[in-house]
Each structure stands twice: as structure tokens, then as C-alpha cells.
Amino acid sequence: MKMIFPTAESIEFAQESAKKIATVKIIADTFMNFDADYQNFNKVDRGFMQNLIEEKDLSREYTKKYIYG
């Protein structure tokens, strides 16, 4: 099967576009209600969330590795 890849310029443009996107916020209610009994203790991984904010995965090296496999 012939594979068509985005060019290096396309990837660079994509990374530049990502930086320009405006902030979008969701205004949520304070609480969620559940009928089910508590089963386990979950928590958001704060390290992961911080990495998302810092966009560590959008480094040139990581994105190329991910896109081309």
C-alpha cells in the first residue's frame, strides 16, 4: 500500500498552529451526583496534567516518532 506522509513543513506548521489556538474554558457545576456506591479511590494524575499544560509531548522529536511510528 502506498503511504502518503505529511511533509516536514506540514508538521512544523501544525506545531505552530497548536501554539496559536485560543484558550477555551468550561464552566462546570460544583458537584456531580452518583447513585452507585463508592468502589475505589481515583485521582487525577497531577504530573500528567502538568505535562499536558507544558505540552512536553508536542516536542519535535516526540511528534515525529509518534506520527511515523
CB of 36 to other proteins, least distance (A): 4
Dist CA 50 CA 43 (whole Å): 14
Does the protein bind other proteins through residue 66 (CB under 8 A)?
Answer: yes
* 54 lines the binding site for other proteins (CB under 8 A): no
- Please report, in angstroms and rounded to a whole number, the separation of the first and last CA atoms in the chain: 16
HSE-CB for 61 with a 13 A CA cutoff: 1
Q: Does 67 bind other proteins (CB under 8 A)?
A: yes
Positions that interact with other proteins (CB under 8 A): 1-7, 10-11, 13-15, 17-19, 21-45, 48-49, 51-53, 55, 57-58, 63, 66-69
